[in-house]
Amino acid sequence: MKIIVTRRTSLARTASSPILFALSLLALLPAWSLTFAQTSSGGSSSNALGAVVHIGVLGLFHPRELTVSAPRGSALVLHAGDERIVLEKSSGVDSASIRISGAGLLLALGTRVVRASTITVIGRKNDPVDFVLSVQGKIKRCYRGTLEIKPSAGTLIAIVTMDREAAIASVVAAESAPDTPVEALKAQAVATRSYFVASRRRHRDFDFCDTTHCQFLREPPPAESLAAKAVAATRDLVLAYDSQPVAAMYTRSCSGRTHTPVEVGLPSVSYPYFSVECKYCRAHPARWLSRISAQVAAALRSSDESARLDVDRRLGWAAVPSNDFAMKKENDQLILQGTGQGHGIGLCQSGAKAMAEEGADFRQILGHYYPNTMIVTWPARPAS
């Protein structure tokens, strides 16, 4: 199958010397190298990857009980062992609770109790459906897709299988500032789609999670929102390097120049990220100050993503916002003064926003932050 090239970006300008968003960038690296599906003339692709994504949701709360509800206008069909249960507001029974019970699950529907090893939620025609999933007293979110709930190590795993483009719209809305221009949103959409295409199987039971370990995902935005329109306008477009999709990393704010993985102590990846200048962050650095225990931060040092994440896991994700900082010891504390937010690799969202405000389109933004890549249609379409 040919790759349809829509534009080639500018060549890289590499620095003369070295200069997640992510909750664990070591895990951010693709587990395997995805190749474009090959098809014979007139045939369809045998590789169905990309149409849907499997996302583990609400795992951050380590839930032992979940509630599934049918919003108005939806009918949910729950399959629990041999039981088939319909939830629908018009019937007066529109929610069910699911909790851990030994090595299995216990589904409670009023006075009715059903035991099962796994529970699935689908529409009446075995199709995607709107549903609400909640952890009591903590969070409630709406999704569209199908749902599987199963036990694992004393907690519930909830896996939503959803349309890839709907997932992209959710990520773009969740990862972007409310006043982000549409061209920057388009750039984010292409980066997000590229990541979904190139980085599957990041978890044992599903492809991605809904935290910044993978990509932050919330409820899908309205169809009339700029985020949804940006996704629709870039449908099927991904970044590619050397004929392979790029698992595109991006960051909230760099410190005036983006990093390569190697510069922050991470292994090199198939796409050789380049350190590029970010005019906006150089002129408007996101400054931060933090005080942390010298004992907790014994191994902390600038430009070491693994060490930074280790501290953030223990103290919270605002403890050390970026890899660019200077530190000094004061009694039993370390005082950190730094700039930037995130690992600093790939697309800088603050810089992309500024470029769009100055008139750059999404292709120019992506060409700047991902030099030597191509924007391609995926899956490739046969030439007419």
- Predicted local distance difference test score (pLDDT) of residue 17: 30
Instruction: Flag whether 202 is in a domain.
Output: no
Instruction: Flag whether 307 is in a domain.
Output: no
On the 0-12 / 13-18 / 19+ scale of CB atoms within 10 A, 37 is: middle
Give the separation between CA 106 and CA 83, rounded to whole angstroms: 12
pLDDT digits (tens, 9 = 90+) for 162-203: 999 999 999 999 999 999 999 999 999 999 999 999 987 777
Phi/psi at 339 (nearest 5 deg)? -135, 155
Place of tokens 């796409």: 271
Instruction: Flag whether 371 is in a domain.
Output: no
Domain count, the chain: 1
State the DSSP H helix or E strand holding residue 367, giving kind and residue range, or none if neither: helix 362-369
Residues 6+ away with beta carbon under 8 Å from 228? 169, 173, 220, 221, 222
User: Residue 28 has which token pair?
Assistant: 């951010």
Instruction: Flag whether 129 is in a domain.
Output: yes
Q: Tell me if 156 sits within 8 A of 100, measured CB to CB.
A: yes
Give the separation between CA 61 and CA 150, rounded to whole angstroms: 15
User: Residue 141 has which token pair?
Assistant: 């979110």
On the 0-12 / 13-18 / 19+ scale of CB atoms within 10 A, 82 is: exposed
Task: Pick the closest to residue 135 from 164, 156, 112, 109 (CA basis).
Answer: 156
User: Mind spelling out the 3-state secondary structure of 184-236?
Assistant: HHHHHHHHHHHHHHHCCCCCCCCCEECCCCCCCCCCCCCCCCHHHHHHHHCCC
On the CB side of 115, CA atoms within 13 Å amount to: 4
Q: Domain range spanning residue 87?
A: 65-153
- Predicted local distance difference test score (pLDDT) of residue 18: 29
- Predicted local distance difference test score (pLDDT) of residue 384: 52
pLDDT digits (tens, 9 = 90+) for 25-36: 333 333 333 333
- Predicted local distance difference test score (pLDDT) of residue 296: 86
Instruction: Flag whether 329 is in a domain.
Output: no
Give the separation between CA 225 and CA 244, rounded to whole angstroms: 31
Instruction: Flag whether 234 is in a domain.
Output: no
- Predicted local distance difference test score (pLDDT) of residue 382: 57
- Predicted local distance difference test score (pLDDT) of residue 299: 86
Instruction: Flag whether 26 is in a domain.
Output: no
- The segments of the chain whose pLDDT lies below 50 read 1-50
Instruction: Flag whether 315 is in a domain.
Output: no
